[in-house]
């Protein structure tokens, strides 16, 4: 039976507290950008780029963005396919989370691998557990750093893992569950290739199902890829059986990413009184309105003579229309009636 071994350290508790604070603030934020879709698209680009770059894909971030927008780029077909597959697998887990599936089954894990490995591996290896022993080597020294379980053990280990994963354990925080699942799937190494990607995507799905999707704005892959050596070292540290250090690393990464998103949203919603004013409703703003609110929050007010410094390429009339809409929404007020009038928050 799979029973993960770890201690809830002060670092883990502090990281989870930051995650909780960020998630709570984002969920209850009274102001959100109308361009929410842009945030999500950016997260998908970051996930697809960093999620494949950490595995050795040489394409640049701008290449990944172009690929996902349907543009042609110069690159190996395999590298391009990896980016496309990553987007498709993110769409798949979005759909699974939207269905609120109550169990993550072997079929779900196999499906994740089929999408990730499409047109990358031989057809007989896609979505199928490996049938031979593999080892993980240091790319520079050639030294064997990890020997996964034998192929005969894989089906049994996956079943044991899924039994644990699907238990109704309400005392286990979803972020810890995601971190444990991430490591265990990497340890089992059920597929011939693509195990890291499957593990990272599975962890994200677990966060989604646990209510920690923060509007799909985040990308844990970016955190791992920024220092891949540290990522792999922390995975390896847990090979002793004690997951505590790995969970400190995993929860810290989640807290960094969640806090980053919180700060983006916080710029729009500094005044907690707005939540009460709008009776719990969330108000969506255009990109221009976001800039106006940010400027007012920084300077204290805005006047007509300041428009050109905020929007050098936009007419005064266009800015005034945005201001009038913000006044209608009850977010700002106009003080005075001449060209010297000020616009400030209510």
For residue 199, say whether it is annotated as part of any ligand binding site. yes
For residue 142, say whether it is annotated as part of any ligand binding site. no
For residue 134, say whether it is annotated as part of any ligand binding site. no
**Are the beta carbons of 48 and 87 closer than 8 angstroms?**
yes
For the chain, percent helix, then strand, then coil, each to nearest 5? 60, 5, 35
For residue 76, say whether it is annotated as part of any ligand binding site. no
Other C-beta atoms lying within 10 Å of the C-beta of residue 76? 11
For residue 196, say whether it is annotated as part of any ligand binding site. yes
One-character DSSP codes across 280-333: T--EEE-HHHHHHHHHHHHHS-EEGGGHHHH-TTS-HHHHHHHHHHHHHTTSEE
Q: What is the DSSP letter of 64?
A: H
Active site residue 60: no
Q: Which of 241, 258, 261 is nearest to 250 (CA)?
A: 258
Sequence-distant (6+) residues with CB within 8 A of 157 are 2, 149, 188, 190
For residue 200, say whether it is annotated as part of any ligand binding site. yes
Instruction: Please tell me the distance from the alpha carbon of residue 43 to that of residue 222, in angstroms, as a whole number.
Output: 9
For residue 118, say whether it is annotated as part of any ligand binding site. no
Instruction: Please tell me the distance from the alpha carbon of residue 103 to that of residue 165, in angstroms, as a whole number.
Output: 8
Q: What is the DSSP letter of 238?
A: G
| Catalytic residue chosen out of the listed positions 50, 113, 173, 189 | 189
For residue 301, say whether it is annotated as part of any ligand binding site. no
Partners of residue 144 on adjacent β-strands: 137
**Are the beta carbons of 136 and 128 closer than 8 angstroms?**
no
For residue 325, say whether it is annotated as part of any ligand binding site. no
**Are the beta carbons of 207 and 175 closer than 8 angstroms?**
yes
For residue 144, say whether it is annotated as part of any ligand binding site. no
Q: Specify binding-site residues for ATP.
A: 193-200, 231-232
Residues recognised as catalytic: 189
């Amino acid at each position: 039976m799979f029973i993960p071994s770890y201690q809830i350290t002060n670092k883990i508790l502090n990281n989870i507290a930051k995650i909780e604070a960020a998630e709570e603030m984002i969920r209850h934020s009274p102001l959100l950008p109308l361009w929410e879709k842009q945030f999500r698209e950016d997260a998908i680009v970051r996930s697809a780029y960093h999620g494949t770059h950490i595995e050795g894909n040489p394409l640049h971030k701008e290449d990944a963005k172009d690929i996902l927008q349907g543009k042609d780029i110069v690159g190996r077909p395999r590298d391009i396919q990896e980016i496309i597959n990553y987007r498709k697998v993110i769409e798949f887990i979005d759909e699974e989370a939207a269905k609120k599936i109550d169990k993550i089954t072997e079929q779900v894990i196999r499906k994740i691998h089929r999408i990730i490995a499409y047109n990358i591996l031989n057809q007989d290896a896609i979505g199928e557990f490996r049938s031979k022993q593999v080892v993980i080597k240091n790319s520079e020294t050639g030294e064997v750093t990890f020997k996964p379980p034998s192929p005969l053990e894989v089906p049994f280990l996956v079943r044991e893992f899924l039994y644990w994963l699907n238990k109704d354990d309400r005392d286990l925080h979803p972020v810890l569950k995601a971190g444990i699942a991430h490591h265990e799937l990497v340890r089992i190494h059920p597929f011939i290739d693509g195990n890291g990607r499957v593990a990272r995507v599975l962890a994200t799905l677990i966060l989604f199902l646990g209510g920690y999707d923060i509007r799909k704005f985040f990308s844990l892959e970016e955190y791992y890829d920024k220092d891949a050596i540290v990522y792999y070292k922390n995975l390896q540290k847990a090979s002793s059986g004690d997951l505590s250090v790995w969970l400190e690393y995993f929860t810290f990464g989640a807290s960094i990413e969640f806090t980053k998103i919180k700060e983006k949203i916080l710029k729009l919603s500094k005044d907690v009184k707005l939540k009460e004013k709008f009776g719990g409703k969330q108000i969506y703003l255009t990109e221009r309105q976001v800039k106006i609110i940010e400027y007012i929050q920084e300077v204290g007010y805005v006047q007509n003579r300041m428009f050109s410094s905020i929007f050098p390429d936009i007419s005064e009339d266009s800015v005034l229309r945005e201001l009038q809409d913000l006044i209608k929404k009850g977010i700002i007020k106009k003080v005075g009636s001449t060209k010297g009038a000020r616009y400030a928050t209510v």
